[in-house]
Amino acid sequence: MIDFINEYINIFYAIGQVAALLVAILTVFLWIENIKTRRAANRPLIIPTNLNSTDTNDRLFVYDFEYPLDEHVKYRGISFFGLKNIGKGPTINLKVESFVNKRGNAFSVSPNIINLPEDITVPFVIRFKFENSIDDLEFTTFLTKLSYQDVFKKRYYLSVELWLRGHLNEDESISQAFILRYQNSNNPTWNEFDTVIFREVENHGIWELDKMKNMVKQQTNSGA
């Protein structure tokens, strides 16, 4: 009889151990899901956008010449675009990791680091030079990579391909950069542009091209 009771006690003890293990597993699972939910609710997202002015103290900055000017800097310009946080949480430690053209020439990167609240835009300013021909700008594109963190210190990346435009005059020219495309990735895969699309992006920029696509789509749907 005693052996029978002990056997049942051992069975109930084993069941209790299994139940405790299941509760522990469920607790860990719920804890992980809670962290994921909190991160999703505080996930910043930086995208390039149009910007009319660089008149702000907070900015990111890259350059390929310094003052005072030397004889190799005959023409120079400033170009810019905006960086906007469209996510659900603040951006921490937004900074430029690199800025190069497709010929392999790297720009110097300012050590500026910015914390960006939701729905706020800051300028990305590019100071560049070209010697005797604007062809140096017209026939190459530039690639920049930025990194930032959320409040949990998880790191994200933004990669942007763009064009710069300058003017052949002795004064410093100022213009908006043409954003060709971007990916929220550390190692983006860029597909080659179709020739027609490439020219439209060259002439109008990525946002204007999107407007044209939507207009054509609406006209097609209305005529169907």
Q: Concatenated DSSP letters for 127-176?
A: EEEESS-THHHHT--EEEEEEEE-TT--EEEEEEEEE----SSSSPEEEE
Predicted confidence (pLDDT) per residue in 75-115, tens digit: 778 889 999 999 988 999 999 999 998 777 889 998 889 99
What domain count does the chain have?
2
3-state DSSP assignment of residue 79: strand
**Is the pLDDT higher at 130 or at 58?**
58
Residue 88 in 3-state DSSP?
A: coil
- Are residues 51 and 113 both part of a single domain? yes
Neighbours of 107 (CB within 10 A): 20
- The answer to whether residue 222 is domain-embedded is no
CB 148 within 8 A of CB 93: yes
Provide the pLDDT for residue 42. Answer: 73
Answer whether residue 25 shows pLDDT above 80. Answer: no
User: Residues 122, 58: contact at Cβ < 8 Å?
Assistant: yes
**Proportion of the chain above pLDDT 70, given as a percent:** 57
pTM of whole model > 0.75?
no
pLDDT of 196 reads: 42
Q: Ranked by mean pLDDT, which of 8-12, 103-107, 149-153, 212-216 comes out on top?
A: 149-153
Question: Looking at the structure, do residues 105 and 148 belong to the same domain, yes or no?
Answer: yes
pLDDT at residue 10 in the model: 61
| Sign (positive or negative) of CA dihedral 23, 28, 30, 31 | positive
Whether residues 126 and 75 share a domain: the answer is yes
Average pLDDT over residues 152-159: 93
Tokens of 213: 């696509």
Domain that holds residue 122: 46-217
Q: 93: exposed, middle or buried (C-beta count within 10 Å: 0-12, 13-18, 19+)? A: middle
